[in-house]
Amino acid sequence: MNLHFTQCRVFSGSKTLYLYKKMLIPVLLLASVSSKGYAQSGQRIALDELDISKVYQGKDRPREIGTRAEISIDKSPFTGGLHTRTDSRLYLVLDGKTTTFSARVGIDDRSLRDARAEFFVIGDGAILWRSGIMGTSDPARLCQVSIIGIKNLLLKVSGSSGQMDGDRAHVDWAEGQFIYSGARPHTNWSPEDLALNRHLPEPPLPRINGAMAVGIRPGTPFVYPIAVTGKHPIKITVEGLPTGLVFDKTTGIISGIPEKRGDYRVALLAKNRIGTARRILRISVGDSLALTPPMGWLSWNVTEGLISATILKEMADAFVKYGLRDVGYQYIMMDDCWAGGRDRADRVFPDTVRFPDGLKPIGDYLHGKGFRMGIYSSPAAVTCAEYPGTGGHEVQDAHTWASWGVDYLKYDLCSTPRDSAKERYIRMGRLLEQSGRSIVYALGAGDEGPGLPIDAHAQVWRTGVDIRDQWKMDLECGIIDCFDEQERFARYQHPGIWNDPDMLVTGIDGKGASANDLDAKGCNDTEYQCQMSLWSLLSAPLFISADIRHIRPSALKILTNPEVLAVDQDILGNPPALYGARGDLEIWVKEMADGSRTIGLLNRRDQAAAMTIKWADIGLKGKQRVRDLWLRKNLGGLKTGYSATVPGHGVILIRVSSR
């Protein structure tokens, strides 16, 4: 049957997608027939073996796949599949040699009583199968479709809970699978996501970014990419490396194993046709790590139980492609849900579906691109999401992580008995020091007290509860709530030990998983920019938790401003001081290593407000040169102070110097 489409509209919520076809498309429409009518030769792959983190759904993101998704339709449990929410879309790329898609579909028992939904399988713009409208009391329906010759497949569900405006029904593609003889099917972003222009223009002059003080233990592997922005091509030269380290001009990465203790001043030079940039990188070979706050990506707020080898590799590629490595981000981190279990020798291993080749190849891949690999665990027997923890297996696990190439451990309190928590944290710190790798140690230490990082030889310490993608919340923490927790811990922070107010939510846009629990609606760009300003003033660890693979350009611009990141990465690591407050209007000042000061004018109000800072009030005399860090613009020399209108829930960030 030959069908010719000039324009096919696929309705999805309030959006209409226009799919243009320029040639005849052979489509075989078969629906609701016995599986005996299909050719069953070829390889099989379950839907939940693919990267379903790319699914779009009307509320948050999928969190678990396979058996942990706990799929149940009309009180009948299913062993695996995709549990999602209406309205949802998942796009797949095929090579025309995938023969069959099948699944059992229906409304999950978690939905409200009068939920309604309809399932669609759409291939190359044509509806191949539809379920008809289903209710909560309907048993699962068989979806079995021939997709021979199809190149682009869309799995779509429309519907609602029927109760609350804006709420979404829970729906399932249970036991979904493909039969294919050619290339393995893979998921893709929606046309809207693919159309995003994420390539941001850079100022032409070269600029060297990132941490300018790095700690490494002697005899352990070192990897450090030179972070440079500017018009390419850029020639980079490096002089003064300690013995054991080499610079690869092709990749721009310093790597190797330094043997001799000492502080080394390494001269970096970046040159293009426009100009030249110079910086001094201090490599300290000794006992100290994380001499500036770690920067990277952490999986929890968006991907949760979907974390996989595919996501980690694609995230690293996106960090390179969209310039995040060039402004200093270095860590790619797995949070909870990566573990599969323990073998007969009690060695922990990763989930074999999501990490079919194990984790060492992932570590090698990340290191090859200049990144460091992070992992998550707990001192308890199980983690917060009830995956294997280290309890009773600390020696084995520290050795195993090191063999995989782990560079960062997030160690969460979870169900650890309080009477033994401190002892367990301290023990793991000692084991990491003996692991043969320079593993940065981050504690989710609950209320154990600010002295614990010192005792445990840790470098990062969580100071509060989990952040949510909202300005302010009654439960847990919004952006401003997490910031307000920091003042009482400021005096405990110094280079090598950093207070952590939790992840950056910039760019999640209300579409996270845990980030949008508790009815967190998401933030606007002013609020996201405010978080980036406040975290940089705090010298906080900067871990992005949005999905960089399809982030909005304006959010990416917030996350990659090198002048704001330089405030966070300043080698003094000073916290800001509150110099003036008038109700909801506050002025925060941070002293910088070069003698300048970074000033944040914070407006907590919902509406814009005029704010003024006088130089005399913060101990400055005479004319000051002022630069707006978000505008990346010099404002000239100002004699007595600075005034501006600050947007509601916003920060204006300026850097002032008498020179």
Tokens 């790619």 — which residue? Answer: 332
Q: Which pLDDT score is estimated for 12?
A: 30
Cα-Cα-Cα-Cα dihedral of 362, 385, 467, 51, to 10°? 40
H/E stretch holding 18 reads strand 15-19
Name the fold adopted by 207-285. Answer: Immunoglobulin-like (2.60.40)
Provide φ and ψ at 167, rounded to 5°: -80, 160
| Whole-number percent of the chain with pLDDT over 90 | 79
Longest dimension (CA), the chain: 86
Three-state SS annotation for 71-97: CEECCEECCCEEEEECCEEEEEECCCC
Confidence grade of residue 40 (pLDDT, cut at 50, 70, 90): low
Task: Using the structure block, give the residue that is written with the tokens 């678990």.
Answer: 64
Q: Tokens for 359? A: 């984790």
Q: Which residues are catalytic?
A: 412, 466
- How far is it, in rounded angstroms, from Cα 641 to Cα 626? 10
**Helix, strand, coil share (%) of the chain residues, nearest 5:** 20, 35, 45
In a 10 Å sphere around its CB, with 0-12 CB exposed, 13-18 middle and 19+ buried, how is residue 346 labelled? exposed
Min mean pLDDT across 50-64, 300-314, 602-616 is at 50-64
CA dihedral 327, 439, 253, 567 (to 10 degrees): 20
Q: What is the pTM of this model?
A: 0.91
Distance, in Å, from the CA atom of 339 to the CA atom of 352, rounded to the nearest integer, reads: 9
pLDDT, residue 447, reads: 61
Fold of the 577-657 domain: Immunoglobulin-like (2.60.40)
Give the tokens for residue 464.
Answer: 């509060």
Confidence of residue 451 (pLDDT cuts 50, 70, 90): confident
Query: Residue 642 is which amino acid?
Result: Y
* CA distance linking residue 219 with residue 35, whole number of Å: 60
Given this model, what pLDDT does residue 65 score? 83
Q: Check: CB of residue 140 under 8 Å from CB of residue 106.
A: yes
| Closest CA relative to residue 559, chosen from 209, 195, 308, 188 | 209
- Which DSSP helix (H) or strand (E) runs through 558? helix 553-559
| Upper half-sphere CA count for residue 46 (Cβ side, 13 Å) | 15
Higher pLDDT, 502 or 113: 502
Q: How far apart are CA 300 and CA 384, in angstroms?
A: 12
Q: What is the mean pLDDT of the chain?
A: 90
* Cα 522 to Cα 514: distance, rounded to the nearest angstrom: 12
- Secondary element (H or E) of residue 498: strand 498-500
pLDDT above 70 covers a percentage of the chain that reads: 92
Phi and psi torsions of 433, nearest 5°: -65, -25
Q: Which residue has the tokens 């998550």?
A: 376
Q: CA–CA separation, 319 vs 308, rounded Å?
A: 17
Coil, helix or strand at residue 537: helix
Quickly state the pLDDT bin for 168 (edges 50, 70, 90): confident
Nearest-5° angle of CA 227, CA 229, CA 230? Answer: 150
Q: CA-to-CA distance for 182 and 339, rounded, in angstroms?
A: 30
Q: Hey, which residues does 543 pair with through a beta bridge?
A: 296
Q: List Cα–Cα distances, 202 to 75, 231, 517, 642, in angstroms.
A: 56, 7, 36, 28
Can you give the pLDDT at residue 166? 52
Buried b (16+ CB within 10 A) or exposed e, 42-75: eeebbbbbbbbbbbbbbbbbbbbbbebbebbbee
Chain center to CA of 350: 20
Amino acid at 373: M
Q: In what order do the strands lie in the sheet with 372-377?
A: 498-500, 460-462, 440-444, 406-412, 372-377, 331-333, 295-298, 542-544
pLDDT in the model for residue 203:
87
Amino acid code (one letter) for 621:
K
Per-residue buried b or exposed e for 236-274, using 16+ beta carbons within 10 Å of the residue's own CB: bebeebbebbebeeeebbbbbebeeeeebebebbbbbee
Read off the amino acid at residue 148: I
Q: Is the pLDDT of residue 8 over 90?
A: no
- Least confident piece of the model among 230-244, 397-411, 479-493: 479-493
Query: Where residue 4 falls among pLDDT bands split at 50, 70, 90?
Result: very low
**511 band by pLDDT with thresholds 50, 70 and 90:** confident
Residue 15 tokens, joined: 């959006």
Chain segment 293-334, per-residue pLDDT in tens: 999 999 999 889 999 999 999 999 999 999 999 999 999 999
Sorting pLDDT into bands at 50, 70 and 90, what band is 13? very low
What CATH code would you report for 2-193? 2.60.120.1060
| Residue ranges covered by each domain of the chain | 2-193, 207-285, 295-568, 577-657
186: left (phi over 0), alpha (psi -120 to 50) or beta: beta
Tell me how many degrees the CA angle 544-93-12 measures, rounded to the nearest 5: 75
Which is nearest to 50 in space by CA: 311, 387, 373?
Answer: 311
Beta strand pairing status for 331-333 and 295-298?
Answer: parallel
- Domain 207-285 and domain 577-657, same fold? Reply is yes
Class of the CATH-defined domain 295-568? alpha beta
5 token code pair: 């489409």
Q: Specify whether the CB–CB gap between 591 and 624 falls below 8 A.
A: no
* pLDDT tens profile 333-377: 999 999 999 999 999 999 999 999 999 999 999 999 999 999 999
